[in-house]
């Protein structure tokens, strides 16, 4: 089954944000994120791939290049623009907590939950769930949306 991303705009979505804490016009610091040119190019490449292919795109960026803002942008688009849900996987609890905190900071309009025994959290009703790999691979049926 092919994904229908034909309605995905090539332009940055309204409300694209600046997580660098740039000064807002009011003089207050803003959590909104404006992606760097290479981050936006990566987001555009993911959407382009999904329009053409039925597969799993992979974005590779070096340490410190801002993968989480890129992820947050895609998560926000999936939830807000396309009424979808996202499962973000990581292999250690520190990365789970970091991802959840950053996603919530960058996208306060999106509910982010954490599913991790190590973090003593089993949230499953959020639009974006950050989870450990192990629970998802042990019982994958729990993570497949019913239609």
Close Cβ partners of 15 (under 8 Å, ≥ 6 residues apart): 32, 76
Instruction: State pLDDT tens for residues 82-132.
Output: 999 999 999 898 999 999 999 999 899 999 999 988 888 888 899 999 998
Confirm whether 18 is domain-assigned.
no
- What the block records as the tokens of 11 is 């332009």
Confirm whether 72 is domain-assigned.
yes
Confirm whether 68 is domain-assigned.
yes
Confirm whether 127 is domain-assigned.
yes
Residues of the domain holding 97: 37-143
Confirm whether 85 is domain-assigned.
yes
Per 3-state DSSP, the chain is made up of helix, strand and coil in percentages (nearest 5) of 35, 15, 50
Rounded to 10 deg, the angle between the 93-106 and 67-76 helix axes is 60
Confirm whether 32 is domain-assigned.
no
CA 132 → CA 68, 101, 109, 119, 146, distances in Å?
16, 15, 23, 10, 21
Domain of residue 98, CATH code: 3.40.50.300
Instruction: State pLDDT tens for residues 50-91.
Output: 999 999 999 999 999 999 899 999 999 999 999 999 999 998
Instruction: State pLDDT tens for residues 15-58.
Output: 444 434 333 333 444 456 789 999 999 999 999 999 999 999 99
Of 45, 114, 44, 103, the C-alpha closest to 75 is 103
Confirm whether 6 is domain-assigned.
no
Confirm whether 67 is domain-assigned.
yes
The tally of domains found in the chain comes to 1
Please answer whether residues 105 and 122 qualify as being in contact, where contact means their C-beta atoms are separated by less than 8 angstroms: no
């Amino acid at each position: 089954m092919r994904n229908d991303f034909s309605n995905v705009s090539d332009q940055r979505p309204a409300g694209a944000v600046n997580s660098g804490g740039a000064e807002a016009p009011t003089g207050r610091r803003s959590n909104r994120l404006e992606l760097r040119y290479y981050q936006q190019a990566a987001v555009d490449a993911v959407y382009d791939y999904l329009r053409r292919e039925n597969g799993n795109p992979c974005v590779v960026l070096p340490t410190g290049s801002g993968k989480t803002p890129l992820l947050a942008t895609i998560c926000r688009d999936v939830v807000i623009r396309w009424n979808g849900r996202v499962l973000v996987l990581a292999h250690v609890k520190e990365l789970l907590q970091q991802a959840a905190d950053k996603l919530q900071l960058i996208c306060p309009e999106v509910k982010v939950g954490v599913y991790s025994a190590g973090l003593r959290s089993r949230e499953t009703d959020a639009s974006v769930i950050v989870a450990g790999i192990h629970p998802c691979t042990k019982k994958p049926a729990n993570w497949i949306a019913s239609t």
